């Protein structure tokens, strides 16, 4: 999972999650699993190799997952649909960016294009009018 109940609690501080709250702590854990699985499915669809292990990329995915879970939490709380829409929009926009540019999360610079962005160009030569430069 990209986030857990403690991550969500940090984002949504005015709602306390417990076994008897609505949503309950079990619901939050379920939301985290569902959002993480959805994210994995979308990333696999564009060729991102899972699991993602790079700590900086996991940090990005955690923030996105928290937004997705927050949308579900607010959707389950009466009178909070406007806030739910804001978080859902943040989640969907972030996932759309990943879908359009998988290199944001891909494990290496060569994962999507087969070309390294850091090639050594010191040995390149070119010719102009039969002269080697």
Rounded to whole angstroms, how far apart are CA atoms 16 and 22? 9
pLDDT grade for 64, boundaries at 50, 70 and 90: very high
Residue 107 lies in a domain: no
Instruction: Count other C-beta atoms under 10 Å from residue 87's C-beta.
Output: 22
Higher-confidence residue of 128 and 100: namely: 100
Residue 128 lies in a domain: no
User: CB under 8 Å to 29, separation ≥6 — which residues?
Assistant: 4, 5
pLDDT confidence of residue 132: 54
Q: Is the pLDDT of residue 60 over 90?
A: yes
pLDDT grade for 63, boundaries at 50, 70 and 90: very high
Of 8, 65, 63, 74, residue with least CA distance to 42: 65
Of 17-31, 90-104, 115-129, least confident by mean pLDDT is 115-129
Higher-confidence residue of 133 and 47: namely: 47
Residue 126 lies in a domain: no
Residue 55 lies in a domain: yes
Whole-prediction pTM value? Answer: 0.79
Higher-confidence residue of 26 and 77: namely: 26
Residue 119 lies in a domain: no
Higher-confidence residue of 101 and 119: namely: 101
Q: Domains in the chain: how many in total?
A: 1
Residues spanned by the domain of 86: 5-102
Rounded to whole angstroms, how far apart are CA atoms 34 and 58? 17
Residue 76 lies in a domain: yes
Q: Is the pLDDT of residue 78 over 90?
A: no
Residue 122 lies in a domain: no
Q: Is the pLDDT of residue 50 over 90?
A: yes
User: CB under 8 Å to 22, separation ≥6 — which residues?
Assistant: 76, 77
Contact 30, 54 (CB under 8 A): no
Residue 39 lies in a domain: yes
């Amino acid at each position: 999972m990209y986030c857990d109940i403690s991550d969500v609690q940090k984002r949504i501080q005015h709602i306390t999650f417990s076994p008897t709250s609505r949503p309950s702590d079990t619901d939050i854990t379920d939301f985290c699993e569902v959002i993480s699985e959805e994210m994995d499915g979308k990333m696999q669809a564009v060729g991102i190799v899972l699991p993602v292990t790079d700590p900086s990329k996991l940090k990005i995915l955690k923030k996105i997952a928290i937004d997705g879970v927050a949308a579900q939490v607010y959707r389950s709380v009466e009178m909070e649909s406007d806030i739910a829409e804001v978080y859902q929009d943040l989640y969907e926009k972030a996932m759309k960016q990943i879908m359009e540019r998988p290199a944001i999360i891909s494990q290496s610079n060569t994962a999507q294009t087969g070309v390294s962005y850091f090639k050594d160009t010191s040995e390149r030569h070119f010719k102009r009018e039969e002269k080697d430069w």
